[in-house]
């Protein structure tokens, strides 16, 4: 059994934390397939990647996030084409203010002073330190091999979305 599959089985139905780029893909993909060719920040992805990410997230009961991730996602979304900004903002807001889906969104905050004391701070920055700081509460899903490698070396439950894409047959609902 692959490590990714073992982690997926262990955390299925529990808590997942997506890094900023993947949360952006999740939110932007809801705007339709054309966003992947019209928005530079998600142009490395396809509608199939979005659908895979949706299936993955639906396998969990809680989507854990941090203010740092949400701020990064919001800032990255400033580059969206004007035709979709209103819909994107409504979708992003509904993630937090409604229980319209099967997944609960929980935001966890760690003071910046604590994050700055982490050994990863200088190499990864505040948002990734916030992810590392929540690693005991969720399965971390990232696309950043450097971050996933560092977390894996500390025995943190982490999978890389690129690896999931390569083994997507394992993650079908």
CATH at residue 149? 3.40.50.1010
pLDDT 10s digit of each residue in the chain, 173 long?
457 777 778 888 899 999 999 999 999 999 999 999 999 999 999 999 999 999 999 999 999 999 999 999 999 999 999 999 999 999 999 887 766 566 889 999 999 999 999 888 888 889 999 998 888 889 999 999 999 998 898 888 999 998 888 776 454 44
Range of the domain at 76: 3-171
Distance, CA of 32 to CA of 138 (rounded, Å): 28
Number of domains making up the chain:
1
């Amino acid at each position: 059994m692959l490590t990714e599959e073992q982690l997926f089985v262990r955390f299925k139905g529990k808590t997942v934390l997506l890094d900023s780029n993947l949360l952006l893909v999740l939110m932007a993909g809801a705007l339709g397939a054309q966003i992947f060719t019209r928005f530079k920040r998600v142009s490395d992805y396809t509608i199939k990647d979005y659908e895979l990410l949706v299936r993955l997230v639906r396998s969990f009961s809680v989507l854990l996030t941090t203010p740092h991730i949400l701020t990064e996602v919001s800032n990255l979304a400033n580059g969206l084409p004007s035709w979709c900004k209103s819909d994107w903002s409504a979708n992003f807001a509904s993630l937090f203010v409604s229980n319209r889906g099967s997944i609960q969104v929980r935001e966890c905050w760690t003071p910046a002073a604590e994050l700055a004391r982490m050994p990863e701070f200088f190499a990864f920055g505040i948002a990734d330190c916030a992810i590392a700081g929540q690693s005991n509460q969720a399965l971390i899903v990232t696309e950043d091999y450097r971050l996933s490698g560092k977390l894996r070396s500390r025995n943190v439950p982490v999978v890389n979305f690129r690896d999931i894409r390569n083994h997507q047959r394992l993650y079908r609902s």
